[in-house]
Amino acid sequence: MLDGAAGTPAVAWRQGRSDRLWLALSRFRGAPLAGFWVLIVVVLGLPVVLFLAVAFSPRLFDQGPEWFTLSGFTQAFSGSLLQGVIDSLLIGVMSALAATATGFGVAWLVIRTDLPGRRVWTGVMFALLLAPSYLVALGWERLLEPSGVLDVAGIHLDGFRSLFYGPFGVIVVLSAKGIPFAFLAISGALRGLGEEFESAVRVHGGGPIAAARILVALLAPAMWSALAIVFAESVSDFGVAATLANDAHFPVATYTLYNAVQAFPIQFSIAAAVGWILMGFVVLALLAQNRALRTRSYRVLSGRSRPARRLRLSRAARVAGLAAMLFVATIGIGVPAFGAVSASLINGLGSLITSHGLTLSNYGRVLSSPTLRDPLVYSSELAAVTATITIVLAAVSARVLSRRGRGVSARVLDMSLLAAVALPGIVFAAGYIFTFNLPFFSEVGIQLYGTTILLVIGYVATALPATSRVLLGSVSQIQESLAEAGRVHGGGPIAAWRRTVLPVLSRSLVAAWVLVFAGTLLELPMSQLLYPPGSPTVSVAIEHALMNYDFAGGTAMEVVAVLGALAVVAIVWGLFRLLAPVGWRRLGSVP
C-alpha cells in the first residue's frame, strides 16, 4: 500500500482490541477529554461548591427559608463554635512555628553536617509524614490515659497527663506531624544554597550566630512555605481533633464542623460557614507568605555558586545532634508506636478487671473476630481500588498540565487541583454528604449516599490532587515524539504507549500507587462520614473499639493495619523488581 502524496509505503500495524477501542473513541473528537472533565467536576468541584454555597442560600437547597443569609457565619462566630475557631487559629500558629524551627534544625543537621545516620533520619521524616495523625495521638493516649499502659506499669504521671490532655498535647502532636513538611520544604532550598554567603560573614568578622542569621534570611521563601504548609495542615487536621482534642474537651474548628453534620437535624449552613473559615485560614497563610516575600529578591544561585561542604562536628556536637534527632523521632514515632504496641499486648486494657498480663490474644481476636477482621479486609480492598483509579486519573491530569501551550482548560485544572490540595478533608466529606443527599439525585435515580461507590469517589477526591502533583514531574519529561516513535515502528496507539511511555513512568506509577494505598487504608475524615451502614472501615472500627473501651483490641487492630500496609508496600515493590523488565527497573532508579 502506497501513500498517494509521496509514493512511500504507509505505516500499518496490527490492531488489537484496545487499539480498535481507542480508534473508535478518537472519531468523536474531544469525547475522552470531555469524559475526564465530567469526572473532575463530579469528584472535585460539584460537591464542594454546592456545600459551601448553602452557607449563603439555604433556600436554594431546601435547607431553610432564606434565599440569602449570613446566619451560619453569625452562629459560627459565637459560643462554642467561636471557641473552636480561636483554638484552631492558636494551635495552627504554634504548631507552624514549632515545626518550622525543628524542621530547619533537622534539615541543617542532615544536609550541612556529617552527623551519623543521615539516611536513617531522612527515613524517620518520611515515616512520620505517612503516619496518620490520629494514630500518633492514640499512641500517646494509650500511654497516659487513666488505667493506661503507664498506670498499669505502676508509673503515675498525673501532672503530665493533665498538661498533655489540652492545648499542649494537641500542639505537640500537630507539631510532630508538621516537622516532615517543614523538613522537605527547607531541605530542598538548603541543598542548593552555597556557602559563599556564610564565608563572607566570617571574613567580615561575624561569628556562627551571624552566619546562621544570614542563612535563615536567605532561606526565607522555604521558611515561609514551611510555615504556611504546617499551619494549613494543622488547622485542617481532623485526626487529632477527633481523638486527643475531643477527649481533652478542647474544641477545634474541624470537629465543630463534624458535629454540625452529625447533629439532628443536620446543620449544613453552619457546617458550610465553618468550612469557609477553614479555607480562609489557609488563604490568610498564603497571603502572609506572599506579603513577607514580595519586596525582596532571593535569587542566590548563579554560575559561581559552589556546593557547601559538610561541617565536621565535634564529639560533643555529634552527641548533642544525635540526642536532638532521637528526641524528635521519639516524640513523633517512638512514643506513639510504643504506646500502641504495648497496649495491644496487655490483657483487658480499658476494662474493669484489676489484673493485667501480657498476651497475644488481642491479635488473635483481630484475625478471627468478624467485628475486627472484616474492616481490615474491606479497607484493604477499597485502598487497592482507590489507588488504581487515582493513578489513572492522576496520569491523565499530569498529561493535561504538562502540555505545551496550555489552554484555559489546563489552567482551570491546575487551579482546581491546587485549591483541592489546600481543602480540608472534612470539608470534602461534608460536601459529599450534602450533595448526594439532595432530592435532585434521587429524582434522576442516582442513589449513591451510603454506598461503597460514594466512599471510593471520596477517597479518590482526596488523593487525586496530591498524586497528580507527584506524577507531574515525571510526565513533564516525556516528549511527544516518544509515543510517535513507537507508532512509526509498528504499534497502535495503546501498544505504542505501553512500549514507550509506560516503561519511563513505571517506577513513578508504582510509587504513587503504594502512597495512595497506604494513605487510603487508614484514612479517617472521609471514612467517618461516608462509610456504608454496617460496613465500617478500619479507622472507624478502631474508633468504635476504643469508644467501647476495648483499648487492647483497638490498638491491636492499629498495629495489624500498619503492618499490613507495610507488607503490601513491600510486596508491590518486590513484584515490580521481580517481574518488571530490567530496563523498567533502571529508569528513574538511583545508582
Query: Do 57 and 66 touch, CB atoms closer than 8 A?
Result: yes
Q: What percent of the chain has pLDDT over 90?
A: 13
Predicted confidence at residue 14, as pLDDT, reads 47
The CATH number covering residue 425 comes to 1.10.3720.10
- Asked if residue 72 belongs to a domain, the reply is no
Asked whether the predicted pLDDT for residue 367 surpasses 90, the reply is: no
User: Are 337 and 372 contained in the same domain?
Assistant: no
pLDDT range class, residue 400, cuts 50, 70, 90? confident
Predicted confidence at residue 406, as pLDDT, reads 58
Q: Residue 68 has which C-alpha cell?
A: 440569602
Query: Do 420 and 465 touch, CB atoms closer than 8 A?
Result: yes
**Sign of the alpha-carbon torsion through 554, 556, 562, 568:** negative
111 class by beta-carbon count within 10 Å (0-12 exposed, 13-18 middle, 19+ buried): buried
Task: Write down the residue that cell numbers 462509610 correspond to.
Answer: 531
Query: Do 452 and 532 touch, CB atoms closer than 8 A?
Result: yes
Lowest mean pLDDT among 189-198, 335-344, 402-411, 486-495: 486-495
pLDDT in tens, 421-448: 667 788 888 888 888 888 777 777 778 7
DSSP 8-state secondary structure symbol assigned to residue 28: S
User: Are 95 and 242 contained in the same domain?
Assistant: yes
Nearest to 500 by CA among 487, 512, 482: 482
**Whole-angstrom distance, CA of residue 381 vs CA of residue 88:** 34
**Whole-angstrom distance, CA of residue 237 vs CA of residue 561:** 21
User: Are 406 and 445 contained in the same domain?
Assistant: yes
DSSP 8-state secondary structure symbol assigned to residue 448: -
- Asked if residue 17 belongs to a domain, the reply is no
Predicted confidence at residue 493, as pLDDT, reads 54
In order of 113, 268, 394, 458, 518, the CA distances from 523 in angstroms are 37, 23, 19, 11, 9
Count structural domains, the chain. Answer: 2
User: Are 216 and 242 contained in the same domain?
Assistant: yes
Give the domain-ending residue among 293, 313, 344.
344
Give the domain-ending residue among 309, 344, 379.
344
Q: What's the CA angle centered on 293, arms 289 and 297, to 5 degrees?
A: 155
User: Are 290 and 410 contained in the same domain?
Assistant: no
User: Are 56 and 102 contained in the same domain?
Assistant: no
In order of 129, 185, 196, 232, 398, the CA distances from 221 in angstroms are 21, 9, 19, 16, 26
- Asked if residue 67 belongs to a domain, the reply is no
Please give the residue that has the higher pLDDT: either 178 or 578: 178
Mean pLDDT to the nearest integer, 501-530: 83
| Host domain of residue 170 | 80-344
3-state class (DSSP) for residue 57? coil
**Whole-angstrom distance, CA of residue 363 vs CA of residue 254:** 33
- Asked if residue 329 belongs to a domain, the reply is yes
- Asked if residue 524 belongs to a domain, the reply is yes
User: Are 321 and 391 contained in the same domain?
Assistant: no
Whether residue 265 is preceded by a cis peptide bond, meaning omega within 30 degrees of 0, is: yes
User: Are 182 and 290 contained in the same domain?
Assistant: yes
**Whole-angstrom distance, CA of residue 464 vs CA of residue 456:** 12
Full DSSP string of 330-387? IIIIIHHHHHHHHHHTBTTTTSS-S---B-SHHHHHHHH-HHHHHHHHHHHHHHHHHH
User: Are 589 and 453 contained in the same domain?
Assistant: yes
pLDDT in tens, 122-177: 888 888 888 888 889 998 998 888 888 888 888 888 888 889 999 999 999 999 99
pLDDT in tens, 292-331: 655 554 444 444 445 567 778 888 989 999 999 999 999 9
Task: Write down the residue that cell numbers 481543602 correspond to.
Answer: 423
Predicted confidence at residue 302, as pLDDT, reads 42
**Whole-angstrom distance, CA of residue 131 vs CA of residue 128:** 5
- Asked if residue 152 belongs to a domain, the reply is yes
Q: What percent of the chain has pLDDT over 70?
A: 74
Full DSSP string of 533-566? TT---HHHHHHHHHHTT-HHHHHHHHHHHHHHHH
Mean pLDDT to the nearest integer, 24-32: 47
- Asked if residue 353 belongs to a domain, the reply is no
- Asked if residue 15 belongs to a domain, the reply is no
User: Are 45 and 96 contained in the same domain?
Assistant: no
Q: Residue 198 has which C-alpha cell?
A: 556564610
User: Are 519 and 588 contained in the same domain?
Assistant: yes
User: Are 281 and 385 contained in the same domain?
Assistant: no
